[in-house]
Amino acid sequence: MRLSSFLFAVIFILSPWSDASARLLVSVTVPAQAWLVNQLAGDHVDLLTMIPEGRVPKSAQPSPRKLARSRQADIQFIVGHPALFFEARYITPYRNPDSKATWISMFDVAKQMQPAWILKGTDPHLWTSASIMMATARVVADSLARLDPENAEYYQKNLLKLETAIKKLDKQIREQVAQSQFRELLVYHPAWGHFSQDYGLRQLAIEVEGKAPDPGSLSSLIRRSEKNNISFIISSPGADQRLAGIIAAQLQIEVLVVDPMDPDWMHMMRKMKAAVEKLKEAAK
């Protein structure tokens, strides 16, 4: 009996479940947040993404099993924007005041950078801002280090690497914008307001409150685009590509597809950098 108990204990210690149980569980809302956590923590945490790759917040419906798992998280990393109804429906109403979970809100981080009343009137895609992502990364890294002090040095080292990479990309985009006289981005879905704000750009959205524009609004948008020498449309995989194509044909411009739900945040931002480069080309 003693031998069998001993063998069971050894098997459990050497099994993958024992390592998994020791790791922190981090629940995030969107893929960009999962990317950030991966950059900081790697395989030192278990990661749960509530809206996975290929889904959009508007239509995503997490399973009861995923919801139950999320409520067991050590860190609840949410976007926190009032307009992100997915969180208002599935996550924040179930916040347990007695829980020891650490809650991190990108909206709360962003409020340290600009007034809340301005933020509330913006689109909820806070992660399209390099400055908000960088500030949030610091909060996440500090929380990881506090909850898992054995790996604190690892998290801080990765934070420095991440900050260096984001600052480098941010500088490149700012330099590109400075070389162009054009300051407007024509987008299908208004997901790039925070990106635009970072770089002094203006977002012109085709979609209005999740719907295609009426003929009058569309006509006005086309006239403004022609006047301001718009040279491309930024669309996304879930957008109405047919309408985007019709508008692009009318303006004789191209359609660039950039996914705000891209699981690789740096890839998404580099595609936006390439789009900004075209602003400079339009000035020639």
pLDDT (tens digit per residue) in 135-162: 999 999 999 999 999 999 999 999 999 9
pLDDT band at 120 (very low <50, low <70, confident <90, very high): confident
The pLDDT value recorded for residue 21 is 55
CB of 28 within 8 A of CB of 90?
no
Over residues 183-205, the mean pLDDT reads: 93
Domains of the chain: 13-171 (3.40.50.1980), 180-282 (3.40.50.1980)
The pLDDT value recorded for residue 284 is 53
The pLDDT value recorded for residue 281 is 66
pLDDT band at 210 (very low <50, low <70, confident <90, very high): confident
The pLDDT value recorded for residue 190 is 92
Name residue, tokens 């191209």. Answer: 254
Residue 9 has pLDDT above 60, yes or no: no
pLDDT band at 282 (very low <50, low <70, confident <90, very high): low
CA angle 26/28/34 to nearest 5° reads 90
CB of 151 within 8 A of CB of 88?
no
Model confidence over 19-45: pLDDT tens digits? Answer: 445 899 999 999 999 999 999 999 999
Quick one: 4 exposed, middle or buried, by C-beta within 10 A (0-12, 13-18, 19+)? Answer: exposed
Over residues 3-20, the mean pLDDT reads: 45
CA distance 105 to 61: 21
Over residues 121-131, the mean pLDDT reads: 94
The pLDDT value recorded for residue 266 is 98
Q: What is the dihedral of CA 83, 183, 275, 243, to 10 degrees?
A: 60
Per-residue b/e over 181-212, b at no fewer than 16 CB within 10 Å? ebebbbbbbbbbbbbbbbbebebbbbbeeeee
Backbone dihedral angles phi then psi of residue 205, each to the nearest 5 degrees? -100, 135
Predicted model pTM: 0.89
Percent of the chain's residues with pLDDT above 70: 91
Model confidence over 81-116: pLDDT tens digits? Answer: 999 999 999 999 989 888 899 999 999 999 999 888
Over residues 187-196, the mean pLDDT reads: 94
pLDDT band at 211 (very low <50, low <70, confident <90, very high): confident
CB of 232 within 8 A of CB of 215?
no
The pLDDT value recorded for residue 13 is 44
Residue 15 has pLDDT above 90, yes or no: no
The pLDDT value recorded for residue 182 is 84
Q: What is the mean pLDDT of the chain?
A: 89
Backbone dihedral angles phi then psi of residue 120, each to the nearest 5 degrees? -65, -25
CB of 139 within 8 A of CB of 111?
no
The pLDDT value recorded for residue 141 is 98
Q: What is the 3-state secondary structure (H, E, C) of the chain?
A: CHHHHHHHHHHHHHCHHHHHHHCEEEEECCHHHHHHHHHHHHHHEEEEECCCCCCCCCCCCCCHHHHHHHCCCCEEEECCCCCCHHHHHHCHHHCCCCCCCEEEEHHHHHHCCCCHHHHCCCCCCHHHCHHHHHHHHHHHHHHHHHHCHHHHHHHHHHHHHHHHHHHHHHHHHHHHHHCCCCCEEEECCCCCHHHHHHCCCEEEECCECCECCCHHHHHHHHHHHHHCCCCEEEECCCCCHHHHHHHHHHHCCEEEECCCCCCCHHHHHHHHHHHHHHHHHHCC
